[in-house]
Structure 1
Amino acid sequence: MEFCPKCGAVMFPSEGKFKCQCGYEKDITDKLKDKYRVSEEVEAKETIIFTGDDVNTLPTTRVECPKCGNMEAFWWLQQTRRADESETRFFRCTRCKHTWREYD
């Protein structure tokens, strides 16, 4: 990669020159051609798999849901107040998906 000596941004090859967004241009010499390989091919990207809400990766505990009375819920901790105060426990019912919180 070539960086612009004026603004420090990455310069891209275009029409036989490295060009910067600030307007600076630098000729691509034979020495620079040997240093870089320009390719139009796009290499394979990582595959991202999206999952629905039915994938349950949170831990569960036995606690009664205030909405449906189910005795199992997912739980997690989250810092919702100042750092010197305790975390808030959140629960989500495994049956009706109702979410509630519990403070210390």
Structure 2
Amino acid sequence: MEFCPKCNGMMMNTTVKVKKEDLEEKVDEENQSNQETEEEKVVFKCMTCGYEKDPSEVDQDQYKVKETVESSDSVIMRGDESGMRSTVREICPKCGHDRASYELLQTRSADEAPTRFFTCEKCHHKWRGYD
């Protein structure tokens, strides 16, 4: 990520049109005349003040990955293993007791609510609760 040297705003990759003039003359092969044309160029542009910076001016080494991150197994500490289970008023569908402990686990994608698993304090029956 690049930041503007003038206002410290965030700079984004933007495509701009640049006129090609006498520095690079394009010759039209059909009529052999000089043409002034436009070409697209990618620059970093400040979203706050409009300052533009050529990507070749950026230190590319700062964007290189310096180490490989390997995936590791997730360790889930269940409530009964930690000795810290929450208890709520919830009726057991098996014995009718009105107290159950619960734990929350993310069983679906991260943008979905976690699933609540109840355990009856009396008969230890386990069931899933939906919100």
User: If the TM-score is normalised by the length of the shorter chain, which range does it land in?
Assistant: 0.3 to 0.5
- How does the TM-score come out when normalised to structure 2? 0.36
Which structure carries more strand by proportion?
Answer: 2
Over alpha carbons, which structure has the higher Rg? 2
